[in-house]
C-alpha cells in the first residue's frame, strides 16, 4: 500500500511594501518599538532594502540605541558606498555615542558627496557644536540657512552656538526660532500681544516662564530693567517657585501655572527679556536678589545645625530626568562618596525627584545625610543652601539657585555643557560664586572627580587654618 505524501501549507506572503509603510507611520508618530519591529521584519526578508536599513537605523536612534544605528548605516554603505544620507546619519549616531572624530569624518564624507542638502550641513554643525567647536558650528549652520532660509533647527542651533562663544547680539534673532521647533509647539504661549518694550502707561504685561526652573531663575535678573515703564508687571511661573519669588522688585503680582492665566494687555517670555537687555557678555546683569521667607527650610536647617562644626557640603547628582540629555550630565551618587573620606567633611543630599531612589537604595547614612526629602519647594531649598559651606553638583536648576544666592558652588559639567558656561574656563559671567569643573574628554567623570577631591582637600585645609 503506497503512503500518501503530506503537503505542508506555504508560509503566508509578507507584503513588504505595506510593512514598510506601517513602520514609516509609526516612526513619524514616535511609536518607536512598533517602528523598530516593522523595519526589522522588512530587512530580515529583504536584506538589500537600503531604505529599510536607513529607517531601522533612525528608529534605533530614537530608541536611544545609537550603537545599533551605526550597524544599520554600515549595512547601507555596503549596499551603496556613495550614499550621502547614510554617511550623514552615521555621523549622527557616532555623535550620540560621543565618538566625535568618527562623527565628523562621516559628516565631511556626506558633504563631499552632496553639499547641496541643508540637512547635511545642519547635522555637521550639531556635531561640531557638541564637540565644543562652536565657531565652526556657526559656519556650518549658516551654510544650511543659506540653502534653506526657513531651516528652523539650523537657526536654533546657530543661536546656541553663538551664545556659547558670547556672540549674543548675533544669537538672539535666531533664538526666536525656538517657538517653531517641534518640541516646543505644545509649550505654553501667551494669549496676549507681544510686548515690544513700549511704555505701558497703566497697562499690564505678563512675563511668563517658558523653560525650566534654572532658566527662570537666570532670566529674573532682567526684572531690574522694568523700573519706570509705568505699568503692572505680572509674573507667571512654576508653582514650586511661588514662595521664593514672593518679594521680587518690579513685580506687582505672581501667578503660578496651576492657576488660570491672568488677564493682561501684553505678554512676554522671560528669555525674551534677557535677549532685549543682554546684547553682549559685558551687559550681563547681576543675579536677581531673592528674599527667603523666614519659615522656609526649618526642618532641614535643624538637621544641619547638629553638624555646624563640620565642613558641610550639599550634593546633587542628577537634574530632571525629563531633560533629553540628562544622561550626559548626571552621575551616580557613588561618585560623590570619596569626598567624605576627607576628614571634617559631611555630605548632605539635596537630591529631589526620581534620582533620589539611588539614595534610598544605597542608604549611605551617616556618610551622606538626606535633606532633599525635607524640601517642599525652592524656598526650602534656598534657605538650606545658605547654611552650607559649599555645594558640589552636576548641572541642574539648583546650580542657578546657588548662583543667584551667591552660595559657593562647584558645578560639574559634562563635555558639552549649557551655553551660559561657554566652552572653556572655570568661571561663568552669569554667576560669580560658581566654579566650573569640566570634562576634557567626553564621558570622562574620573578626571573631574579627581580634580574636585584635590580642590576640596585644599578648601578644607584652608578653612581649618583660618579657624585655628
Q: Which CATH number belongs to the domain containing residue 228 in this structure?
A: 3.40.50
Residue 7 in this model has a pLDDT that exceeds 70: no
Co-location of 357 and 258 in the same domain? no
Give the global pTM: 0.92
**What pLDDT does 463 receive?**
87
Cell, residue 352: 529631589
Q: Which residues pair with 359 in a beta bridge?
A: none
Q: Which CATH number belongs to the domain containing residue 171 in this structure?
A: 1.25.40.10
Q: Where are the alpha helices (DSSP H) in 322-422?
A: 326-329, 356-362, 378-385, 397-405
Per-residue pLDDT tens digits for 186-239: 788 889 999 998 889 889 999 999 999 999 999 999 999 998 888 999 999 999
**What pLDDT does 467 receive?**
75
Non-local (6+) Cβ contacts of 466 within 8 A are: none
Q: Is 411 within the bounds of a domain?
A: yes
Question: How far is residue 280's CA from residue 282's CA, in Å, rounded to a whole number?
Answer: 5
Q: Is 431 within the bounds of a domain?
A: yes
Cell, residue 466: 583660618
* CB 157 within 8 Å of CB 122: yes
Number of residues written out for the chain: 468
Question: How far is residue 164's CA from residue 240's CA, in Å, rounded to a whole number?
Answer: 29
* CB 276 within 8 Å of CB 198: no
Per-residue pLDDT tens digits for 427-468: 999 999 999 999 999 999 999 999 999 999 999 999 888 875
Non-local (6+) Cβ contacts of 373 within 8 A are: 352, 356
Q: Within 10 Å of residue 210's Cβ, how many Cβ atoms?
A: 21
Number of domains in the chain: 3
**What pLDDT does 186 receive?**
73
Give the phi and the psi of residue 413 in degrees, each rounded to 5. -110, 140
Q: In what order do the strands lie in the sheet with 368-370?
A: 368-370, 345-349, 311-316, 390-394, 409-413, 434-438
Co-location of 278 and 318 in the same domain? no
Question: How far is residue 331's CA from residue 452's CA, in Å, rounded to a whole number?
Answer: 14
Question: How far is residue 251's CA from residue 261's CA, in Å, rounded to a whole number?
Answer: 16
Where does a domain end: 248, 283, 318? 283
Question: How far is residue 121's CA from residue 108's CA, in Å, rounded to a whole number?
Answer: 9
Question: How far is residue 421's CA from residue 430's CA, in Å, rounded to a whole number?
Answer: 8
Q: Quickly state the pLDDT bin for 1 (edges 50, 70, 90).
A: very low
* CB 350 within 8 Å of CB 391: yes
3-class DSSP state of 175: helix
Q: Is 416 within the bounds of a domain?
A: yes
Q: Quickly state the pLDDT bin for 122 (edges 50, 70, 90).
A: very high
3-class DSSP state of 357: helix
DSSP element (H, E) containing 267: strand 266-269
Co-location of 28 and 156 in the same domain? yes
Q: Is the peptide bond before 366 cis (omega within 30 degrees of 0)?
A: yes
Co-location of 314 and 441 in the same domain? yes
Q: Is 188 within the bounds of a domain?
A: no
- Residue 372's Cα: distance from chain center in Å? 21
Co-location of 242 and 382 in the same domain? no
Co-location of 265 and 403 in the same domain? no
Co-location of 363 and 462 in the same domain? yes
Q: Is 191 within the bounds of a domain?
A: no
Co-location of 393 and 451 in the same domain? yes
The candidate with the shortest Cα–Cα distance to 160, out of 182, 175, 180, is 175
Question: How far is residue 288's CA from residue 400's CA, in Å, rounded to a whole number?
Answer: 11
Range with the lowest mean pLDDT among 12-21, 97-106, 131-140, 254-263?
Answer: 12-21
Cell, residue 164: 556659547
Where does a domain end: 136, 159, 177? 177
Per-residue pLDDT tens digits for 68-83: 999 999 999 999 999 9
What value does the mean pLDDT take over residues 395-411? Answer: 97
Q: Is 67 within the bounds of a domain?
A: yes
Co-location of 384 and 413 in the same domain? yes
DSSP element (H, E) containing 390: strand 390-394
Cell, residue 226: 522694568
Mean of pLDDT over the chain? 94
DSSP conformation letters of 399-463 = HHHHHHHT--EEEEE-SS--GGG-SS-S-BTTBTTEEEEE-SSTT-HHHHHHHHHHHHHHHHHHH
Where does a domain end: 162, 177, 192? 177
Q: Which long-range contacts (CB under 8 A, 24 or more apart) does 353-359 make?
A: 353/318, 353/320, 353/321, 354/321, 355/317, 355/318, 355/321, 355/330, 358/317, 358/332, 358/333, 359/333
The candidate with the shortest Cα–Cα distance to 36, out of 62, 18, 71, is 62
**What pLDDT does 9 receive?**
58
Residue 3 in this model has a pLDDT that exceeds 50: no
Q: In what order do the strands lie in the sheet with 232-237?
A: 253-256, 232-237, 204-208, 266-269
Burial readout 98-119 (b: 16 or more C-beta within 10 A, e: otherwise): bbbebbbebbebbbebeeebbb
**Domain limits at 334?**
298-467
Co-location of 453 and 309 in the same domain? yes
Q: Quickly state the pLDDT bin for 322 (edges 50, 70, 90).
A: confident
* CB 397 within 8 Å of CB 252: no
Per-residue pLDDT tens digits for 257-280: 999 999 999 999 999 999 999 999
Per-residue pLDDT tens digits for 159-197: 999 999 999 999 999 999 999 998 887 788 889 999 998
Q: Is 194 within the bounds of a domain?
A: no
Q: Which CATH number belongs to the domain containing residue 337 in this structure?
A: 3.40.50.2000
Residue 241 in this model has a pLDDT that exceeds 50: yes
Question: How far is residue 122's CA from residue 145's CA, in Å, rounded to a whole number?
Answer: 9
Co-location of 272 and 356 in the same domain? no
Q: Is 231 within the bounds of a domain?
A: yes
Residue 46 in this model has a pLDDT that exceeds 90: yes
Co-location of 209 and 167 in the same domain? no
Amino acid at each position: 500500500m503506497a503512503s500518501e505524501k503530506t503537503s505542508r501549507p506555504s508560509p503566508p506572503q509578507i507584503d513588504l511594501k505595506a510593512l514598510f509603510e506601517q513602520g514609516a507611520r509609526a516612526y513619524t508618530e514616535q511609536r518607536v518599538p512598533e517602528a523598530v519591529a516593522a523595519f526589522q521584519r522588512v530587512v530580515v526578508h529583504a536584506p538589500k532594502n537600503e531604505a529599510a536599513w536607513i529607517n531601522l537605523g533612525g528608529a534605533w536612534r530614537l530608541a536611544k540605541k545609537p550603537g545599533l544605528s551605526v550597524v544599520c548605516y554600515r549595512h547601507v554603505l555596503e549596499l551603496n558606498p556613495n550614499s550621502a544620507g547614510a554617511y550623514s546619519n552615521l555621523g549622527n549616531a557616532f555623535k550620540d555615542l560621543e565618538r566625535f572624530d568618527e562623527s565628523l569624518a562621516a559628516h565631511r564624507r556626506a558633504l563631499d558627496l552632496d553639499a547641496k542638502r541643508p540637512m547635511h550641513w545642519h547635522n555637521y554643525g550639531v556635531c561640531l557644536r557638541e564637540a565644543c567647536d562652536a565657531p565652526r558650528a556657526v559656519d556650518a549652520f549658516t551654510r544650511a540657512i543659506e540653502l534653506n532660509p526657513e531651516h528652523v533647527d539650523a537657526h536654533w542651533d546657530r543661536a546656541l552656538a553663538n551664545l556659547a562663544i558670547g556672540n549674543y547680539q548675533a544669537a538672539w534673532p535666531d533664538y526666536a526660532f525656538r517657538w517653531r521647533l517641534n518640541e516646543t509647539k505644545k509649550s505654553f504661549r501667551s494669549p496676549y500681544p507681544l510686548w515690544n518694550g513700549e511704555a505701558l502707561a497703566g497697562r499690564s504685561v505678563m512675563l511668563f516662564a517658558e523653560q525650566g526652573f534654572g532658566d527662570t531663575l537666570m532670566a529674573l535678573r532682567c526684572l531690574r530693567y522694568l523700573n519706570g515703564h509705568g505699568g503692572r508687571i505680572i509674573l507667571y511661573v512654576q508653582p514650586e517657585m511661588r514662595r521664593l519669588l514672593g518679594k521680587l522688585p518690579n513685580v506687582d503680582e505672581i501667578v503660578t501655572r496651576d492657576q488660570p492665566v491672568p488677564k493682561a494687555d501684553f505678554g512676554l517670555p522671560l528669555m525674551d527679556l534677557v535677549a532685549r537687555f543682554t546684547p553682549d557678555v559685558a551687559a550681563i546683569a547681576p543675579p536677581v536678589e531673592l528674599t527667603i521667607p523666614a519659615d522656609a527650610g526649618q526642618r532641614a536647617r535643624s538637621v544641619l545645625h547638629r553638624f555646624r562644626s563640620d565642613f558641610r557640603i550639599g550634593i546633587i547628582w542628577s537634574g530632571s530626568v525629563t531633560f533629553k540629555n540628562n544622561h550626559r550630565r548626571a552621575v551616580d551618587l557613588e561618585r560623590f562618596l570619596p569626598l567624605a573620606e576627607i576628614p571634617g567633611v559631611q555630605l548632605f543630599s539635596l537630591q529631589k525627584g526620581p534620582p533620589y531612589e539611588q539614595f534610598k537604595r544605597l542608604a549611605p547614612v551617616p556618610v551622606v545625610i538626606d535633606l532633599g526629602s525635607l524640601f517642599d519647594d525652592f524656598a526650602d531649598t534656598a534657605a538650606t543652601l545658605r547654611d552650607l559651606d559649599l555645594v558640589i553638583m552636576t548641572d541642574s536648576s539648583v546650580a542657578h539657585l546657588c548662583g543667584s544666592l551667591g552660595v559657593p558652588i562647584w558645578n560639574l559639567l559634562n563635555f558639552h555643557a549649557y551655553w551660559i558656561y561657554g566652552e572653556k574656563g572655570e568661571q561663568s559671567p552669569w554667576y560669580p560664586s560658581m566654579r566650573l569643573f569640566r570634562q576634557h574628554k567626553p564621558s570622562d567623570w574620573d578626571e573631574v572627580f579627581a580634580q574636585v577631591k584635590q580642590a576640596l582637600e585644599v578648601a578644607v585645609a584652608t578653612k581649618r587654618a583660618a579657624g585655628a
